[in-house]
């Protein structure tokens, strides 16, 4: 690929016109030990229990910690808990806590703190945006300062995943007391960094916490998060050295940046699946042959190449690789001849007309639906496109009151199962209880085997048994094909060559524990 | 509110000519404007004939092995990020962009001029209401207005035309009102008024012609703005839906590839640029030909 | 004059009241549910309803409107649904960056635009006119996100002379104000030229010439004065548009201004912030119009205030 270079005459002109500017000293000085992150999303509140912003949650991992957390490969690891036990009926979880951990305000982390946090999250009256993640907690009891017992209202086997999620952070009870509702502006946790300043429009700054329980960490003095919504600008900032880390980066530019060689371009797997849901309540998608035909008609290999410049993995099952209990069923082969044959069998020899909506209005999504439209046209399916702006999406997809009247036909969407476990990759999207307006089953898919087993898996605590149940569920869904199974796109990000120990995790969050600057 | 008392030019024609002859005689002299008209005529012709002259289908033909390739003999303007022929898309896009640009400006100009004329001529409460409404409209962020229109009418290119037209109304109204206020108190208007001409005749025959010059100048400028506004609306998911090859939308789509494959952005940008340039030159030419005072200078 | 100003300022109130009502109805008519948007895709219906209560959106519309107006009367514009910060705080932190960028952009673009416009009018149909107008047309028709990206690529990434984002020093202002001001300069140039040509042919200008006034005096004194009136009108309009914050420029240069706030607010259907912003924009427009009218009087004393 070529670099972007201006013609000679142009350059001379530009040089001349800003002569005055060139007198100013070039380069931007950076404070030693300060690592600047250019991130895509702005922070809305710093209270992890009251936001769905992944930006807020990933910055949160710098100053907050939960009982459990995920490592770089999305495997659960104990953080503030040392271990836990589950009662045989799956209702009571007993946690043994790490000792000698202090909050940034100097108070001790102990069982009381856990109780305060879980009581807050599970109390309906607090009206927190993450309520449904904690609504199964019946009560939390302090056994002794390092032991805490949580009782659930019903068995919920992914509970540890739910509390390993970046929203289930331990906030200092003293700070909750002191700041009340303003805790969203004054985070106080146990993480490696402590909060310094948050200027909404500009940056969020945190500094090294000297009392951090992992001795010798962290190894840099301060972190600065700058929300930069434009992807090209984010990229430019890392190129000029104004930022040390940039995420996400346009797929289109990854190769060119790699060839340039000034910064590290990292291409890491993610669990964000790209799929198209087909409304099975409506003709012609009520016919499984049509749904199969569409899966055969789309060249998914080309999809990754055209839209993601190759930075994607084919979807080889309903639940993507990296999420616990994922089962491999595919990938679905590309076979347009077979697609035409199936359409003919289903009574659509000349294809049909339908609509394909994109749930997002970013440029990658716009490219995706256009690609899909081209592919569908190859087998005679004429799809009219519409790119939905967030409010329209909510109005026309999420809030559709009557399933039978819902206007959605084909919907291009993405999903990242933030708990890293199969339940949250299946239940909100494919269980019949999740039809809009409840959750996001935009295919209006309903299968009794799937429903029963998704519910059953929640009560089962043994791994092998659970894996077997989820296998049945995933095989059934793959066979019924309520979705066009597309791919999981990679996380492409930029890192200054001097920076190490910081990663984008498969759930799009950032991991800072080992961060180091040479 | 304002009144200017400046003397009126009293020019007497050397010999009797029809206004159309007169206009053509003057317009012909402007070489740039003539060239621009030729370009616009060709463009309109290309837009009309596009479906028969494009080498590839603008929406459905693709070549994934030639993604982002620069211009070549097979693809005069190169290939875009989805493997489509840019030349074909530009030609087909001329239909959409021209229609959207012209229609919206026409609509905005007509409505705005009517309001502006009435406000300027009658003043009083009608003027106050018109100006107050135009203040409200001015202050209303365009994006918000567009979303509202989409809420009522659904996403389509028609909305773009309506939305962009609505943005233009207050500017035209204000512009025409200001000119009308100035013209109203000129001697020739007052003279016509004193011999008992009706309000309609005064406005239509004696004031409107005087406002044409600023309207034309602003309208020609506005066509470009409209094409670009239409583009940003498309980008927000309103208006022209992909894969419709609307020029502005094409330009916006090329954003991510701007550094690695600049030709994808270059051609729609060039198309917009040349079209806007042509309309502006045409506007200047029209202005000179319509202005009764210009002749005397030569 | 002072009584005129007072009258105009009082006259603002009905307009602002119309704006409050229209915007309130408008935002609630827009498709999209702020509670669902705030709760996000992981939330079920029950949680969405909880969030709706938390945001106070569960109450009947007339009641919400009444509360809003009563609060507004006390200078309280409500709290952002998105960030939970007072709307006044949200807006005021972004107002100055937008204002400063607008001022710097206007300063150079008006001066340059008018100069080019006057040159073009004086040397009408000769090469300075052609060059000036071609440049002006290019300025209008070049999409400004492309200009912004191009400038950043050259001066920040390739040459390393200027910073990419932020608003901390004067060097941060250069690229965004060039990007933002280009279109304004172009509009000003075309408008100045057009209105100059109009007055240059007026009898009083020719009279001045006939009296033997020097050409610079004719242009600078007699023509400029009268040509300025439409130019000032256009200047006011452009100023008002820029004060609304440019979405594109603020996105490309990550400028902490009002345009981005509006985009975020519209995307999340943050009603109080949208209402507050539109109210502010209306106020700005009305004040600018007032200033423009006062300027008319200063430029041409024959204009009477009624």
DSSP, collapsed to helix, strand or coil, labels residue A452 as: helix
| A305 and A434 fall within a common domain | yes
CB proximity B97 to C under 8 Å = no
CA angle C261, C262, C268 (to 5 degrees): 90
* Chains touching C by CB (3 or more pairs below 8 Å): A, B
Instruction: Tell me: do A384 and A427 sit in the same domain.
Output: yes
Out of A485-494, B146-155, C124-133, pick the least confident: B146-155
Query: C-alpha distances in angstroms, A481 versus A276, A518, B271, C112?
Result: 10, 50, 44, 63
- Can you give the pLDDT at residue B154? 65
Give the mutation candidate from C21, C126, C140 for the B interface (greatest B CB count, under 10 A). Answer: C140
Inter-helix orientation angle A448-459/A463-480, to 10°: 160
Compute CA distances A29 → A20, A236, A400, C111, C161, whole Å: 20, 16, 52, 34, 13
Query: Which of A38, A493, A74, A73 minimizes the C-alpha distance to A267?
Result: A493
Residue in the block written with tokens 């990933």: A58
Burial level of B175, CB count in 10 A (0-12/13-18/19+)?
buried
Give the pLDDT band of residue C38 (cuts 50, 70, 90). Answer: confident
| Best mutation target, A37, A240, A249, A432, to test chain C (most C CBs within 10 A) | A240
Q: Are both A308 and A261 inside the same structural domain?
A: no
**3-state secondary structure (DSSP) of residue A264:** strand
Q: Is B82 on the interface with A (CB under 8 A)?
A: yes
Helices (H), A32-85: 54-63
Partner residues linked to A489 by β-bridges: A312
The span from the CA of A129 to the CA of B100, in Å, is 43
DSSP secondary structure of C218-252: IIIIIIHHHHHHHHHHHHHHHHHHHHT--HHHHHH
Distance in angstroms between the alpha carbons of the first and the last residue of chain A? 30
pLDDT of residue A304: 93
Question: Tokens at residue C278, please?
Answer: 């539109």
* Backbone phi, psi, residue A246, to 5°: -135, 125
More confident residue, C305 or A496: A496
Q: What value does the mean pLDDT take over residues C249-266? A: 85
Report, as an integer, the average pLDDT of A67-72. 90
The confidence band for C293, taking pLDDT boundaries of 50, 70 and 90, is confident
Report CA C275 to chain centroid distance, whole Å: 17
DSSP type of residue A308: S
pLDDT in tens, C196-210: 887 777 767 777 777
If one counts the domains in chain A, the total is: 3
Residue position matching structure tokens 């108070």: A107
In a domain, A187, yes or no: no
Given an 8 Å threshold on Cβ–Cβ distance, is B140 in contact with C278? yes
pLDDT over 70 percentage in chain B: 84
Looking at chain B, which residue has its C-alpha nearest residue C229? B178
Helix (H) / strand (E) containing A275: strand A272-278
- Do B255 and C145 lie within an 8 Å CB cutoff? yes
Q: What is the CATH number of the domain that holds A358?
A: 3.10.105.10
Q: Is the pLDDT of residue C121 over 50?
A: yes
pLDDT classification of A28: cutoffs 50, 70, 90: very low
Tell whether A163 is covered by a domain.
yes
Whether C13 contacts chain A with CB within 8 A: no
Instruction: Pick the last residue of a domain from A176, A208, A235.
Output: A176
Tell me if A187 sits within 8 A of A171, measured CB to CB: yes
Scan for tokens 């079920």, then name that residue.
Answer: C44
User: Cβ(A508)–Cβ(A272) under 8 Å?
Assistant: yes
Chain C residue with CA closest to B145: the answer is C26
Q: Is residue A386 part of a domain?
A: yes
Measure C40 CA to nearest chain A CA, in Å.
5
Q: Which residues of A touch C85 (CB under 8 A)?
A: 200
Cβ–Cβ gap C133/B144 under 8 Å: no
- Classify residue A309 by burial, with Cβ atoms within 10 Å: 0-12, 13-18, 19+: buried
Residue A183 in any domain: the answer is no
Which single residue is written with the structure tokens 């669902």? C36
| pLDDT score recorded for residue C294 | 82
H-state helical runs in A185-230: none
Identify whether the C-beta of residue A233 lies closer than 8 Å to the C-beta of residue A214.
no
What residues of chain C, 261 to 280, have a C-beta less than 8 Å from chain A?
264, 266-269
CATH number at residue A132: 3.90.76.10
* CA-CA-CA-CA dihedral for A104, A109, A115, A121, to nearest 10: 30
Tell me the pLDDT tens digit for each residue of B95-152: 888 888 889 999 999 999 999 999 888 888 888 888 878 877 777 777 677 767 766 6
Shortest alpha-carbon distance between residue A302 and chain B (Å): 8
- Write the CA distances from C137 to B220, B257, C10, integer angstroms: 10, 26, 40
Distance CA C37, CA C25 (A): 19
Q: C6: how many CB neighbours lie within 10 A of its CB?
A: 10
Chain C contact for B290 (CB, 8 A cutoff) = no
Distance (Å, whole) CA C294 – CA C282 = 18
Are A468 and A500 members of one domain? no
For residues C77-103, give the mean pLDDT: 89
Distance from CA of B62 to the nearest CA of C (A): 26
CATH code at position A44: 3.40.190.10
Q: Return the pLDDT at C147.
A: 81
Confidence of residue A444 (pLDDT cuts 50, 70, 90): very high
A110/B46 Cα distance (integer angstroms)? 76
Q: Does residue C252 belong to the interface with chain A, where contact is any CB pair within 8 Å? A: yes
C120-127, long-range: CB < 8 A, 24+ apart = C120/C189, C120/C192, C120/C193, C121/C192, C121/C193, C121/C196, C121/C197, C121/C200, C122/C196, C122/C219, C124/C197
Tokens 């005129």 locate to C4
Q: Which residues in chain C have Cβ-Cβ distances shorter than 8 Å to A232?
A: 149, 152, 252
User: Which pLDDT band, with edges at 50, 70 and 90, does C81 fall under?
Assistant: confident
- Averaged pLDDT for residues A256-273: 92
Q: Give the number of C-alpha atoms closer than 13 A to the C-alpha of residue B162, restricted to the C-beta side.
A: 16
This prediction has a pTM of 0.87
Distance CA B207, CA B190 (A): 11
Q: What is the pLDDT of residues B43-70, one digit of tens each?
A: 999 999 988 988 888 888 888 888 888 8
Residues A414 and A294 in one domain: yes
Q: How far is C105 from chain A (nearest CA, A)?
A: 16
Domain check: are A359 and A284 in the same one? yes
Question: Do C305 and B1 count as a contact with CB atoms less than 8 A apart?
Answer: yes
B253-263 confidence digits (pLDDT tens): 887 787 888 88
Residues 283-322 of A with CB under 8 A from B: 302, 305-306
Distance from CA of B91 to the nearest CA of A (A): 19
pLDDT for B292 = 55
Percent of chain A, pLDDT > 70?
Answer: 94
pLDDT of residue A65: 94
Residues A291 and A238: beta-carbon distance below 8 Å: no
Residue B260: which of A1, A366, A377 has the nearest Cβ? A1
The conformational region for residue A398 under phi > 0 = left, psi -120 to 50 = alpha, else beta, is alpha
Q: What backbone torsions phi and psi does residue C145 show, to the nearest 5 degrees?
A: -70, -35
| 3-state class (DSSP) for residue B205 | helix
Higher pLDDT, A222 or A43: A222
pLDDT single digits (tens) A206-245: 999 999 999 888 989 999 999 888 888 899 899 988 899 9
- pLDDT reported for residue A22: 35
| ipTM for the complex shown | 0.82
Alpha-carbon distance C278 to B140, whole Å? 6
Any idea which residue has 């836990």 for tokens? A84
| Contact predicate C253/A233, CB 8 Å | yes
Do B175 and C190 make contact, defined as CB atoms within 8 angstroms?
A: no
* B144–C266 CB contact, under 8 Å: yes
Q: Which residues of A touch B147 (CB under 8 A)?
A: 389, 391
Q: What is the mean pLDDT of residues C222-234?
A: 77
pLDDT more than 70, % of chain C: 95
- Find the residue in A nearest to C156 (Cα): A240
Which residue, A464, A295, A288, A266, is CA-closest to A379?
A295
Tens of pLDDT, residues A300-344: 999 999 999 999 999 999 999 999 999 999 899 999 999 999 999
Q: Mean pLDDT over all residues of chain A?
A: 89
CA distance linking residue A316 with residue A294, whole number of Å: 16
Q: Which two tokens stand for residue A307?
A: 């839209």
The minimum CA-CA distance between B56 and chain C, rounded to whole Å, is: 27
Structural domain contains residue A347: yes
Write the Ramachandran bin of A444: left for phi over 0, alpha for psi from -120 to 50, otherwise beta.
Answer: left
Least confident of A43-52, A164-173, B155-164, C250-259: B155-164
pLDDT for residue A27: 37
Same domain for A412 and A507: no
- Top residue of A239, A367, A381, A394 to mutate, by most chain B CBs within 10 Å, is A367
Cα A436 from Cα A444, distance rounded (Å): 8
With residue C13 as reference, give the H or E element that holds it: helix C2-29
pLDDT for the residue numbered C306: 47
Can you give the pLDDT at residue B161? 85
Nearest to B178 among C233, C240, C247 (CB): C233
pLDDT at residue B147, as a whole number = 67
pLDDT at B10 over 80: no
Considering the domain boundaries, does residue A61 fall inside one?
Answer: no
Measure in Å the smallest separation between the Cα of A292 and chain C Cα atoms. 27
Question: Chain C contact for B280, CB < 8 A?
Answer: yes
Q: Which of B62, B241, B259 lies nearest to residue A374, judging by beta carbons?
A: B62
pLDDT at residue B294, as a whole number: 47
- Expressed as residue numbers, the domain containing A414 is 272-489
Q: Which residue has the tokens 């659960």?
A: A76
Answer with the residue of higher pLDDT: C193 or B8. Answer: C193
Neighbouring residues of A8: CB distance < 8 A, sequence distance ≥ 6: none
**Do A387 and A505 fall into the same domain?**
no
* Coil, helix or strand at residue A29: coil
**Encoded tokens for B40:** 């616009």
Residue of B nearest to C22 (CA): B136
Confidence at residue A16, expressed as pLDDT on a 0 to 100 scale: 37
pLDDT for res A357: 94
pLDDT of residue B291: 62
pLDDT tens digits, one per residue of B193-210: 888 888 888 888 888 887
Q: Does residue A292 share a domain with residue A147?
A: no
- Asked if residue A16 is part of any domain, the answer here is no
Residue A280 and residue A403 share a domain: yes
Find the mean pLDDT for residues A440-468: 94
pLDDT for res A280: 96
Query: Buried b vs exposed e over A56-95: b needs ≥16 C-beta within 10 Å?
Result: bbbbbbbbbbbbbbbeeebebebbbbeebebeeebbebbb
Residue B275 has pLDDT above 70, yes or no: yes
Contact B237 A389 (CB under 8 A): yes
B139:C146 CB<8 A? no
**Does the pLDDT at position A443 exceed 60?**
yes
Q: How high is the pLDDT of residue B188?
A: 78
In Å, the largest CA–CA distance within chain C is 84
Chain C residues in contact with B252 (beta carbon < 8 A): 145
Q: What is the mean pLDDT of residues A338-364?
A: 93
Q: How far is the alpha carbon of A304 from chain B, nearest alpha carbon, in Å?
A: 11
Shortest CA distance from C83: residue in chain A: A44
Q: Is C10 on the interface with A (CB under 8 A)?
A: no
Check residue A18 and give its pLDDT.
Answer: 36
Q: Is A458 helix (H, G, I), strand (E, B) or coil?
A: helix
With beta carbons under 8 A apart, name residues in chain A contacting B255.
232, 363
- Identify the band that residue C159 occupies on the pLDDT scale cut at 50, 70 and 90: confident
Pair (A279, A167) in one structural domain? no
What is the end-to-end Cα distance of chain B in Å, rounded?
36
C-alpha span between C190 and A477 (Å, rounded): 63
Question: Positive or negative, the Cα torsion across A79, A80, A82, A87?
Answer: negative
Rounded Cα gap, residues C45 and C35, in angstroms:
10
**Does one domain contain both A296 and A259?**
no
Q: Is the model's pLDDT at C172 over the cut of 80?
A: yes
Q: Evaluate whether residue A186 is within a structural domain.
A: no
- Do the Cβ atoms of A226 and A246 come closer than 8 Å? no
Question: Could you tell me if A7 lies within 8 Å of chain B, comparing CB atoms?
Answer: no
Residue B7: pLDDT above 50?
no
Chain C partners of B9 at a C-beta cutoff of 8 Å? 201-203
Token output for A58: 């990933």
Q: What is the 3-state secondary structure (H, E, C) of C27-51?
A: HHHCCCCHHHHHHCCCCCHHHHHHH
C161 → chain A, closest CA residue: A26
In angstroms, the CA C72 to CA C91 distance is 15
Q: Does A180 touch chain B (CB under 8 A)?
A: no
**Mean pLDDT (whole number) for B274-290:** 78
More confident residue, C142 or C77: C77
Taking only residues 164 to 223 of chain C, the set having a beta carbon closer than 8 angstroms to any beta carbon of chain A reads: 164-166, 171, 174
């Amino acid at each position: 690929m070529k670099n972007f270079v201006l013609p000679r005459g142009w350059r001379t002109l530009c040089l001349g016109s800003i002569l005055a500017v060139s007198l100013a000293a070039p380069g931007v000085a950076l404070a030693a030990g300060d690592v600047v992150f250019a991130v895509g999303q702005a922070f809305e509140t710093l209270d992890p229990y009251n936001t769905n912003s992944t930006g807020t949650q990933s910055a949160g991992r710098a100053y907050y910690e939960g009982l459990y957390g995920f490592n770089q490969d999305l495997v659960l690891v104990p953080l503030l808990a040392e271990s836990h036990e589950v009662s045989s009926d799956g209702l009571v979880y007993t946690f043994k806590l790490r000792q000698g951990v202090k909050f940034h305000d100097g108070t001790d982390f102990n069982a009381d703190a856990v109780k305060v946090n879980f009581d807050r999250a599970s109390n309906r009256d607090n009206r927190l945006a993450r309520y449904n993640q904690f609504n199964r907690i019946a009560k939390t009891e302090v056994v002794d300062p390092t032991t805490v017992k949580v009782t659930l209202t019903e068995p919920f086997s992914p509970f540890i995943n739910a509390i390993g999620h970046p929203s289930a952070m331990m906030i200092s009870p003293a700070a909750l007391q002191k700041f009340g509702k303003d805790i969203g502006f004054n985070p106080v946790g146990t993480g490696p960094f402590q909060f310094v300043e948050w200027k909404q429009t500009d940056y969020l700054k945190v500094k090294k916490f000297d009392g951090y329980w992992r001795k010798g960490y962290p190894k840099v003095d301060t972190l600065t998060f700058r929300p930069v919504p434009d992807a090209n600008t984010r990229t430019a900032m890392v190129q000029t050295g104004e930022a040390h880390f940039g995420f996400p980066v346009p797929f289109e530019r990854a190769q060119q940046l790699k060839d340039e060689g000034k910064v590290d371009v990292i291409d890491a797997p993610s669990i964000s699946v790209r799929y198209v849901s087909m409304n099975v309540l409506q003709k012609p998608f009520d016919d499984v042959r049509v749904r199969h035909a569409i899966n055969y008609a789309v060249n998914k290999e080309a999809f990754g190449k055209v839209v993601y410049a190759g930075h994607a993995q084919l979807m080889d099952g309903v639940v993507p690789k990296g999420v616990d209990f994922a089962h491999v069923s595919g990938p679905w082969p590309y076979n347009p001849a077979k697609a035409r044959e199936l359409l003919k069998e289903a009574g659509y020899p000349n294809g049909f007309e339908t609509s394909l909506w994109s749930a997002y209005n970013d440029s990658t999504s716009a490219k995706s639906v256009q690609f899909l439209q081209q592919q569908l046209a190859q087998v005679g399916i004429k799809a009219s496109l519409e790119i939905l702006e967030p409010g329209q999406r909510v109005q026309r997809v999420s809030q559709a009151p009557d399933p039978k009247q819902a206007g959605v036909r084909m919907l291009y969407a993405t999903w990242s199962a933030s708990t890293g476990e199969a339940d949250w990759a299946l239940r909100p999207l494919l269980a019949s209880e999740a039809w809009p307006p409840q959750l996001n089953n935009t295919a209006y898919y309903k299968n009794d085997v799937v429903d029963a087993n998704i519910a059953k898996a929640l009560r089962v605590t043994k791994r092998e048994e659970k894996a077997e149940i989820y296998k049945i569920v995933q095989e059934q869904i793959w066979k019924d094909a309520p979705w066009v199974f597309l791919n999981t796109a990679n996380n492409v990000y930029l890192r200054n060559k001097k920076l190490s120990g910081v990663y984008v995790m498969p759930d799009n969050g950032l991991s800072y524990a080992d961060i180091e600057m040479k | 509110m304002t009144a200017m008392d400046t003397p009126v030019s009293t020019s007497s024609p050397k010999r009797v000519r029809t206004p159309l002859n007169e206009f053509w005689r003057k317009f012909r002299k402007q070489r740039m404007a003539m060239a621009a008209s030729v370009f616009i005529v060709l463009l309109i012709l290309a837009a009309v004939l596009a479906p028969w002259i494009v080498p590839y289908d603008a929406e459905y033909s693709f070549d994934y092995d030639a993604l982002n390739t620069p211009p070549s003999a097979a693809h005069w303007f190169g290939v875009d990020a989805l493997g489509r022929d840019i030349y074909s898309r530009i030609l087909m896009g001329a239909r959409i962009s021209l229609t959207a640009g012209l229609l919206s400006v026409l609509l905005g100009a007509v409505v705005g001029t009517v309001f502006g004329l009435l406000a300027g001529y009658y003043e009083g409460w009608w003027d106050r209401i018109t100006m107050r409404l135009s203040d409200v409209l001015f202050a209303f962020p365009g994006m918000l207005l567009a979303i509202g229109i989409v809420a009522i009418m659904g996403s389509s290119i028609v909305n773009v035309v309506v939305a962009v037209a609505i943005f233009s109304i207050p500017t035209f109204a204000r512009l025409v009102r200001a000119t009308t206020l100035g013209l109203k108190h000129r001697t020739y208007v007052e003279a016509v008024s004193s011999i008992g001409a009706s309000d309609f005749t005064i406005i239509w025959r004696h004031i409107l012609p005087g406002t044409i010059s600023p309207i034309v100048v602003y309208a020609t400028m506005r066509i470009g703005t409209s094409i670009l506004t239409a583009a940003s609306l498309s980008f927000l998911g309103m208006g022209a839906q992909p894969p419709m090859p609307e020029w502005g939308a094409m330009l916006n789509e090329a954003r991510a590839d701007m550094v690695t494959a600049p030709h994808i952005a270059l051609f729609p940008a060039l198309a917009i640029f040349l079209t806007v340039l042509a309309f502006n030159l045409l506007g200047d030419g029209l202005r000179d030909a319509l202005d009764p005072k210009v002749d005397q200078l030569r | 004059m002072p009584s005129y100003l007072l009258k105009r300022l009082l006259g603002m109130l009905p307009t602002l009241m119309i704006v409050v009502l229209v915007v309130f109805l408008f935002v609630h008519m827009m498709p999209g549910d702020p509670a669902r948007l705030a709760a996000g895709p992981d939330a079920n219906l029950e949680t969405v309803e909880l969030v709706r209560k938390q945001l106070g959106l569960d109450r009947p519309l007339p009641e919400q409107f009444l509360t809003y107006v009563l609060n507004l009367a006390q200078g309280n514009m409500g709290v952002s649904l998105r960030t939970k910060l007072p709307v006044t705080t949200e807006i005021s932190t972004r107002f100055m960056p937008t204002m400063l960028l607008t001022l710097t952009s206007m300063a150079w673009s008006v001066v340059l635009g008018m100069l080019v416009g006057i040159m073009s009018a004086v040397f009408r149909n000769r090469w300075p006119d052609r060059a000036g107008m071609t440049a002006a047309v290019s300025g209008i028709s070049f999409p400004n996100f492309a200009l912004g990206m191009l400038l950043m690529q050259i001066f920040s990434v390739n040459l390393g002379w200027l910073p990419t984002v932020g608003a901390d020093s004067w060097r941060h202002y250069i690229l965004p104000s060039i990007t933002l001001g280009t279109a304004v300069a172009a509009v000003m140039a075309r408008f100045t030229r057009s209105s100059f040509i109009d007055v240059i042919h007026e009898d009083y200008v020719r009279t001045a010439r006939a009296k033997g006034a020097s050409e610079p005096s004719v242009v600078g004194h007699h023509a400029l004065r009268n040509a300025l009136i439409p130019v000032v009108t256009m200047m006011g309009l452009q100023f008002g548009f820029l004060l609304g914050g440019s979405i594109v420029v603020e996105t490309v240069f990550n400028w902490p201004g009002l345009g981005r706030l509006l985009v975020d607010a519209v995307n999340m259907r943050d009603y109080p912030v949208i209402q507050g912003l539109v109210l502010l924009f209306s106020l700005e427009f009305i004040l600018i119009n007032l200033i423009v009218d006062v300027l008319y009087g200063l430029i041409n004393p024959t204009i009477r205030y009624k």
